[in-house]
Amino acid sequence: MSVSIDLSGRRALITGSGQGVGAAIAATLAEAGAEVFVNDLVPERAEAGAAALRSQGFAAQAAAFDVTNLEAVTESITAIGPLDILVNNAGNAGGDGWTAMAPFHTTSPSEWNKFINVNLYGVMNCVHAALPGMIQGKWGRVVTIISDAGRVGEPSMASYAAAKGGAAAFTRAVAHEVGRYNITANNISLGTMRTPLSEERWANISEADAKVVLQRYLVRRPGLPADVAALALYLVSDGGEWVTAQTYPLNGGYSVAL
């Protein structure tokens, strides 16, 4: 039996898709036939990402906006027009791509907010703007990229975990609200990833330090953007229509879910 996923006619916005995991998801959905809108906070990255997809013959447009700004999000998504697929990928884990770690009692609200604004409010803003079109069209897929820090909790990452955990709970709640419109909403929970933001550190990490980072992973390597794109593709497809309100760990066995 051969299995293929065809997203022809679908319109997909992937936030934070100018690079890394988001870029891989955008490319995979474009290859499956979707018209892709490449979002990034940096306009040049959004334009470059969309241009790279168009050069391969795919339908892609840039959509640069700040997910933390509801007014900008609403204006941009209104201009794009009704979406079939929203992938909430934009997020921040620390200045150099590795999650900033500090005991919670040593942190301040200004540090909490930089995680909550992007990882939680950014998701809420985009879903708020995208849902009306999906409801009107009676079809939609929402996928939110979270972290195992938010799913199982991690020490010294409390504010980041709170933001990611909140985004997961929000996405599940939305799934309950919109399932009757043939709209699904799911989470993909990531472990340690190797992306362009963290590439320099991975390239220079010692064998001993890499072993410490990966010792809890049954598959002893970091996750790659392609790993995430493969699961996202299924969840946004027609075949995923009976899968909703779920959180899927994609983490090389770092933690388990029953």
Strand partners, 187: 144, 247
Task: Tell me which of 121, 160, 248, 254 is the catalytic residue.
Answer: 160
Q: Is 160 a catalytic residue?
A: yes
> What does the buried/exposed string (b/e) look like for 182-221 if buried means 16 or more CB atoms within 10 Å of the residue's CB?
ebbbbbbbbbbbbbebbeeebeeeeeeeeeeebeebeeee
* Residue 79, CA distances (Å) to 9, 103, 127, 152, 252 in order: 18, 43, 15, 38, 39
* Residue 107, CA distances (Å) to 50, 79, 113 in order: 38, 39, 11
Which residue in 134, 148, 228 sits closest to 182, CA to CA?
Answer: 134
Q: What is the phi/psi pair of residue 92, to 5°?
A: -140, 140
Separation between Cα atoms, residue 71 and residue 96, nearest integer Å: 28
> 170 in helix, strand or coil?
helix
**Active-site positions?**
160
